[in-house]
Amino acid sequence: MRRCLALLSVGLLAGCGSSAQLGAVQLVPNTPPAVAPAGDITWFLDSEPLTLDTDYHGSTTEDTVVANLCDRLYQLQPDLTVRPWLVEEPAMPDPATFVYRVRDGVRFHDGSTVTAEDVAFSLRRHAEDGNDESDEFGNVESIDVTGPMEVTVRLEEPDAQFKYRMAGDAGIVLNADVVNRLGQDVGSPGRPDACSGPYYLDRWDAGSSLTIKRFPDYWNPELRPLTESIRFVWGDEWAAVNSLRTGAADGAYLDDPSMAPALSTSPELSLHFGLTTSAWQLIPTGRGPMADVRLRTALSLALDRQGMAEAAFRGAAEPWKLPVGVGTFGTGKELFEQAYQQIRDVPIRPGEQDLARARELVREAGPPAEPIVVANDGTAVGNVLANGVRDAGLKLGLPVEIRTVPPAQFSELFASPEARAGVDLIVNDWYLSKPDGLGMYDNVLPDSVNNYLDFRDEQYESTFASAAATYDDLQRARQVIRLQDEYLGHMLSIPLVMAPTTLAMSNRLTGAPVSSAYLTYPWAADLGRRS
């Protein structure tokens, strides 16, 4: 099914038809189905994975690989719906209890059977304090094996998002024996994976390449891969362009859609654009001038988002007022579209009134004693957006210092407080594995590892709890709209631009999803030849 959406300028209009528009860009969830095996292919990443253990760290780079190796309890589909995967639809004796029956006949890559004990072990591991997915379990009271192939999860409060959590990295099921044997070496080069997905880790030559191969005993015939193996290589954006244009790489999900024009002239390549749940934004770290909500709001009021979108993405993006992408609107599209038009303090292009209010906020807060330090990953997009922040600062008399962090180290900013030391804002396209805005707004709850601001607010927590406990989609959408207003009222991150998911691929290939589902869905299993 094709998802229907049209975006004209910054207005949101419901579209009807077989595809969708982002400006002049066609948005689709999938490429046409493959009809023949593709053999061995090479896929380009923006950097080498830091680890394949998403409990330690999971960014877009790692997840692009891990999505093909590891099954989850639920699976996010290319159209951004979810369905049960390693478990059957759970029984719910009450709104805060999920009783999962683990599917029979599922095998890990070492040949052992997936058991209820493996599921419970995995969920408990994800939930451990300090692990990347631990914030997804803040509401979990207990995880118990309650039958031969049965796991019961009890929550402290009802959580309508829980199935989405279980479709992300928090739902990955690991082989407990392998994890216990490898210890801290889980996810490292030279070590086997501990998963049950349609591909297994064949080889990882650190600093060079990583290869996954088709798992012949995969349990689900719906996802028997056509492609025998995928070799991942990596480099910067221009290395990606050169590799794709010369045929050294067969495809890539592009972090930087502005690379599309350089690829569009190649007769051997096709470009595809898909719906996204993410948005480019400025993530405050909780230090320096940006610890003050007045200065964050002032900076937001002075940002020229239209200019940033045009300069950074060359027409393949929209200036955007939310920290989440339009792919999160599915639970109440019309309500979210109407609410979008009413958002304050996030102008597309600042007018005199916006700048006057921004300057008043700066006067009220007092001039900062030090410059605002903005970190970016050194890509063309990162540099342009960081410079847009500097331009906004100049309008307000706020000095801005740009700090470029190489892509290989950039992900450490989110994993390590030490890496964030000396940085006030991080330019990032924060992605969601869940097609629900609550997946962004829970990052600033007190128990979240991503709550860099150490934000505490009883009203916000109450609104979030009410939304999270509402299983009816439309009612929950209304609650989420109230929550997003509170989030932006505190300017807990500063929205910039929404860019589509961008897939560049050899013309001989097809089948891969185009939406942001590729970060958790086993996209390589659908990949094959056109004929």
Question: Cα–Cα distance between 138 and 446 in angstroms, integer?
Answer: 9
Contact predicate 311/256, CB 8 Å: no
Rounded average pLDDT over 372-380 = 93
Evaluate whether 337 touches 322 at the Cβ level (below 8 Å). Answer: no
Question: What pLDDT is stored for residue 12 in this prediction?
Answer: 35
In this predicted structure, the answer to whether residue 63 has a pLDDT above a threshold of 60 is: yes
Domain ranges of the chain: 6-54+197-275+500-529, 72-180, 279-497
Alpha-carbon span 71 to 121, nearest angstrom: 15
**What are the Cα distances from residue 331, in Å, to 121, 205, 380?**
32, 43, 34
Residue 392 has pLDDT above 80, yes or no: yes
pLDDT tier at 78 (50, 70, 90 boundaries)?
very high
Helix (H), strand (E), coil (C) string for 248-316: CCCEEEECCHHHHHHHHCCCCEEEEEECCCCEEEEEECCCHHHHCHHHHHHHHHHCCHHHHHHHHHCCC
| Mean pLDDT estimate for the chain | 92
241: tokens are: 């362009």
pTM: 0.79
pLDDT score, position 524: 98
Label residue 105 exposed, middle or buried (CB < 10 Å: 0-12, 13-18, 19+). exposed
pLDDT (tens digit per residue) in 99-149: 999 999 999 999 999 999 999 999 999 999 989 999 889 889 999 999 999
Answer CATH for 6-54+197-275+500-529 from 3.40.1130.10, 3.40.190.10, 3.30.413.10, 3.40.50.800: 3.40.190.10
Confidence of residue 1 (pLDDT cuts 50, 70, 90): very low
Residue 24: pLDDT band with limits 50, 70, 90: low
In this prediction, residues 22-34 reach a mean pLDDT of: 78
Question: Tokens 């999505």 identify what position?
Answer: 67
Q: Is the pLDDT of residue 521 over 70?
A: yes
What pLDDT score was predicted for residue 453?
A: 97
For residue 237, name the pLDDT band (cuts at 50, 70, 90). confident
- Name 232's bridge partners: 43, 210
Q: Look at the alpha carbons of 354, 357, 361, 366 in this order and tell me if their dihedral is positive or negative.
A: positive
Q: In terms of Cα–Cα distance, which of 203, 284, 246 is closest to 453? A: 284
User: How many beta carbons lie within 10 A of that of residue 19, not counting itself?
Assistant: 15
Pick the CATH number of 72-180 from 3.40.50.970, 1.10.10.60, 3.40.1010.10, 3.90.76.10: 3.90.76.10
CA atoms of 510 and 28, how far apart (whole Å): 13
Superfamily of domain 279-497: Dipeptide-binding Protein; Domain 3 (3.10.105.10)
More confident position, 18 or 156? 156
Fold: same for 72-180 and 279-497? no
Q: What is the pLDDT of residues 41-50, one digit of tens each?
A: 999 999 999 9
**In 449-522, at which residue ranges do the beta strands (DSSP E only) sit?**
494-498, 501-506, 509-510
Higher confidence at residue 291 or residue 28? Answer: 291
Confidence of residue 488 (pLDDT cuts 50, 70, 90): very high
State the pLDDT at residue 11. 35
Cα separation, 280 vs 308, in Å, equals: 11
Question: Considering only CA atoms, which of 117, 115, 118, 122 is closest in space to residue 137?
Answer: 122
**Is the pLDDT confidence value at 393 over 50?**
yes
Tokens found for residue 253: 């999900």
pLDDT recorded at residue 70: 98
How does residue 23 score in pLDDT terms, banded at 50, 70 and 90?
A: low
pLDDT confidence tier of residue 25, bands split at 50, 70 and 90 = low
pLDDT at 467: 94
Mean of pLDDT values over 322-345: 93
pLDDT at 3: 29
Among 296-310, 318-332, 471-485, 509-523, where is mean pLDDT lowest?
A: 318-332
Residue 230: CB atoms within 10 A of its CB come to 25
Position 379 scores a pLDDT of 85
Q: Which of the two residues, 42 and 79, has the higher pLDDT score? A: 42
Rounded to 10 degrees, what is the CA torsion of 240, 261, 7, 436?
A: 0
CA–CA distance, 204 with 472 (Å, rounded to integer): 45
Supply the pLDDT for residue 27.
75
